Structure 1
Amino acid sequence: MNRTFGKKLSTSVTAAALMFGAGAFASQDELEPVLNAPSDKTLSYDWPMLKVGTGTYEEGPTGVTVFQFEEKALVAVDVRGGGPGTVNAPYMDLGYNYAELDTIVFSGGSWYGLEAVTAVATALKDDGIRDGNAFSLEPNIAMSVGSIIFDFGSRRLNEIYPDKRLAQAAFRAAKTGTFPLGAHGAGRFAKSGGFFGCNAFSGQGGAYREIDGVKIAAFVIANPYGAITRRDGSLAACYEAEGWPEGTLRTPDLMQGFPASRETGKSAAEDEAASSKNTTVSMIVTNQKMDPADLKRLAVQVHTSMARGIQPFATQYDGDVLYAVSTGELEEPKFYSPDLGVMASEVMWDALLASVPEQQKATTPDATVRHSAAELEAYAGDYHFSQFASLSISAEGGKLFAKASGKRKVYGIEHEQATELKPVSQGEFMVPGRYPLTLRFGQGGNLVINPGHWEQTGKRSPAR
């Protein structure tokens, strides 16, 4: 590449990011971490040894979930699927029989989010909790492990990722006893069921049981290519395709009816292309003391059981990873490893179901809503969501139209063919299709797509 051209390109992108404000950004240093955000649904658990902190960048939105153990714990890992992203997985597989684990970190942002894992390790050192001594009888060096999910692609219109600053803030905000369920932390923009085109919103789930003094906790960031399935076989969440049978939709019916169950006609909005890059990362924790071999088998058994709650599971396009942790507080084992595995598997299924938030509802066009020509012209312009995604809005013949004008299409709105926006209310429009696609023009020149918990905000560029 010509060096001068490369320099000019970099400068122009940065200038554009500064100009477009909320819809794009020049540096993640401008973003404000949101820590332990309140949730409509929360898991309560009684386990002082285990603390959890969540952090998000709402501009993404994307986030990180940090699990901290007050004393070092023993850990094993089971890795499946075709695209895992982990830190320190090979070391865990060596099976050393002493406790070294301090934290497990789950993050959005694909491989960029792995920065969050090592950032928590340095926070442990910087805060004086651990040091660099790895050679004493009881090593005091920080051990942080973790995994990422893919939350880019068609689901959000920017490439903000959980970074060192966000991860360390979430770690320092960690507390025990509560865990927010749904679209929070690393699960802030997770989705499920892309295999069948469901594209349902997902998130992080947790469940906890205590049986005869044995504590079992399960945590999961559910972002699977397969569909999350209840114990009765019904889909936990799905944006259903036209032509699917009415009534309770069951995953076994979709599996048995494949590939016909995935073949549907596509409108512009439906061509949002289900994400084919997914991952479910999870953790099972018990206070029962276990040796490395038993802990490894627990990881394998529980991970295998998750194929009941996610169908299909561990595909080429998933990067599934499960961590099994023993805090060793209960010295005398109460259950054999297979028995503990059965109970832990059920707790994990509970956690998986708890990850599903209330789904975003599609708006309905209203034929009685009228916009004057002047109002429609006022909405026309270019709206920038990031240096990758922009929309060009135009008014013609008493109607409003949208075209993608950046490098990528915008939720099924293409570059070549204009998509008509149907009025819903004053300043609000929608595109019919399988998935919710609402556009709201607001004050200050903003355009919000799918207003609400997963909204994407674009800034209008100045008129020339």
Structure 2
Amino acid sequence: MTLAPVSSFSTGVPSNPDLPLTPQPSPGRGSVPFDLPGVYVGTAEYAEGPTGCTVVHVPAGARTAVDARGGAVGMSGGYDFNHAICFAGGSVYGLAAAAGVSEELLARRGNQVRWDELQLVSGAVIYDFSARDNAVHPDAELGRAALRAAREGEFPVGRCGAGIGATAGKIDFGRAEYTGQGAAFGVFGSVKVLVATVINSVGVVVGRDGEILRGNYHSGEGARRHPSVDYAELADAPAVMGNTTLTVMVTNVSLTDRDFAQVARQVHSSMHRGIQPFHTSTDGDVLFALTTDEVELEGLKPAGFGALASEVAWDAILSGVE
């Protein structure tokens, strides 16, 4: 679907206090099953936006490596250990959704605030206002709803959760196309890895054969073009703002902190194959890598594991635009 150009925002557009908002389920077009016991995923949306949030909940907690790139990162927390990750639309205002997840987890712990009872939540946001004319954004109530909807072993995909208003190929807003969130799960012996991503990039989505699958659609030509062609034509044009790809990787592999951080960077870097360009000055790309520390790598070095996880990440990107 090709979007109409958005050149400016009028004043007085409706926001959350102006509407009787009620969190709604956000199932998408289906889900990707995964086998990582103790990992739960939930989504919720405000159809009035549309905008939404996606929560990955690990009640036992998980060591975390964070790789944030680009010139427009919107993130809260960024802890090296987390009980939940919250992705949301609404740009900086959507960071309130992560606060709602934190509040819900506090309530579930009976409001216990001893040091060892604290629940850590990190969040990141996409700018999804470019395709709509309102200021509705995920808030604490929507974050709570997404956590309450979390289920084990299923990751919703398509236009749902944080990806309901995501778009790609925004060399010009009029040539952008809707994307969503995608997920893929890989099993390599005892090693398991889940990668899910919300694609809201300035770049286009590229298939394994080099075909441009989503974004930068030229209606006059009836075709999608690689952004490099348009950059050559628009060298003096202002940059289009509001782009971000958010990714979460969950594995059962136990690695040292140093090796785990390097694998996170490796996987995040690999995603440039499926999104071109990636990590631009107007992108706020963030990858959270979580591990449940259940198995050791045997016969496989961390770089090899990173290579396998990178292929799963590309599958997740493609899943988001099916």
Same fold (TM over 0.5): yes
Q: Which has the higher strand share?
A: 2
Match in the other structure for 1:120: 101
Match in the other structure for 2:3: none
Counterparts of 2:69 and 2:297, CA distance in 1? 31
Counterparts of 1:308 and 1:45, CA distance in 2? 24
Map of 1:33-432 to 2, 5 A cutoff?
Answer: 33-35=23-25, 37-89=26-78, 91-92=79-80, 100-128=81-109, 131-134=112-115, 139-153=116-130, 155-195=131-171, 198-238=175-215, 240-241=217-218, 244=221, 251=226, 254-255=227-228, 258-260=231-233, 275-331=240-296, 333=298, 335-356=300-321
The gaps in structure 1 that reach 5 residues or longer are: 1-12, 18-22, 93-99, 264-272, 358-464
Q: Does 1:31 align with 2:12?
A: no
Query: Deviation per CA, 1:418-447, whole angstroms, max 9, x where unpaired?
Result: xxxxxxxxxxxxxxxxxxxxxxxxxxxxxx
Counterparts of 2:301 and 2:163, CA distance in 1? 33
SS at match of 1:276: coil
User: Is the CA contact 1:199–1:274 (under 8 Å) kept in the aligned structure 2?
Assistant: no
User: Is the CA contact 1:64–1:106 (under 8 Å) kept in the aligned structure 2?
Assistant: yes
User: Is the CA contact 1:130–1:140 (under 8 Å) kept in the aligned structure 2?
Assistant: no
Higher relative contact order (CA 8 A, sep 6+): 2
How far has the Cα of 1:321 moved from its partner?
Answer: 0.6
The TM-score with structure 2 as length reference comes to 0.88
How far has the Cα of 1:82 moved from its partner?
Answer: 0.5
Going from structure 1 to structure 2, the CA distance change for 1:256 and 1:142 (only over 3 Å counts) comes to same
Identity between Structure 1 and Structure 2 (%) = 36
User: Is the CA contact 1:62–1:160 (under 8 Å) kept in the aligned structure 2?
Assistant: yes
Match in the other structure for 1:95: none
Q: Which amino acid aligns with 1:46?
A: D
How far has the Cα of 1:70 moved from its partner?
Answer: 2.9
Going from structure 1 to structure 2, the CA distance change for 1:332 and 1:242 (only over 3 Å counts) comes to closer
Aligned residues: 309
User: Is the CA contact 1:183–1:203 (under 8 Å) kept in the aligned structure 2?
Assistant: yes
User: Is the CA contact 1:130–1:141 (under 8 Å) kept in the aligned structure 2?
Assistant: no
Q: Which amino acid aligns with 1:150?
A: Y
User: Is the CA contact 2:239–2:282 (under 8 Å) kept in the aligned structure 1?
Assistant: no
Counterparts of 1:257 and 1:239, CA distance in 2? 9
Going from structure 1 to structure 2, the CA distance change for 1:167 and 1:334 (only over 3 Å counts) comes to farther
Counterparts of 1:63 and 1:256, CA distance in 2? 33
Query: Deviation per CA, 1:389-419, whole angstroms, max 9, x where unpaired?
Result: xxxxxxxxxxxxxxxxxxxxxxxxxxxxxxx
Q: Which amino acid aligns with 2:263?
A: L
Query: Deviation per CA, 1:362-389, whole angstroms, max 9, x where unpaired?
Result: xxxxxxxxxxxxxxxxxxxxxxxxxxxx
Going from structure 1 to structure 2, the CA distance change for 1:173 and 1:339 (only over 3 Å counts) comes to same
Counterparts of 2:110 and 2:54, CA distance in 1? 19
Q: Which amino acid aligns with 2:293?
A: G
SS at match of 1:56: strand
Q: Which amino acid aligns with 1:289?
A: S
Counterparts of 2:283 and 2:176, CA distance in 1? 15
Query: Deviation per CA, 1:300-348, whole angstroms, max 9, x where unpaired?
Result: 1011101111111111110011111111122465632101110111101
SS at match of 1:259: helix
SS at match of 1:277: coil
SS at match of 1:83: coil
Query: Deviation per CA, 1:31-61, whole angstroms, max 9, x where unpaired?
Result: 11112x3333321122222100000000000
How far has the Cα of 1:276 moved from its partner?
Answer: 2.4
Going from structure 1 to structure 2, the CA distance change for 1:291 and 1:195 (only over 3 Å counts) comes to same
SS at match of 2:117: coil
Query: Deviation per CA, 1:114-137, whole angstroms, max 9, x where unpaired?
Result: 111122112111111773222xxx
Alpha-carbon RMSD across the aligned residues, in angstroms, is 2.5
Q: Which amino acid aligns with 1:255?
A: S
Larger Rg: 1
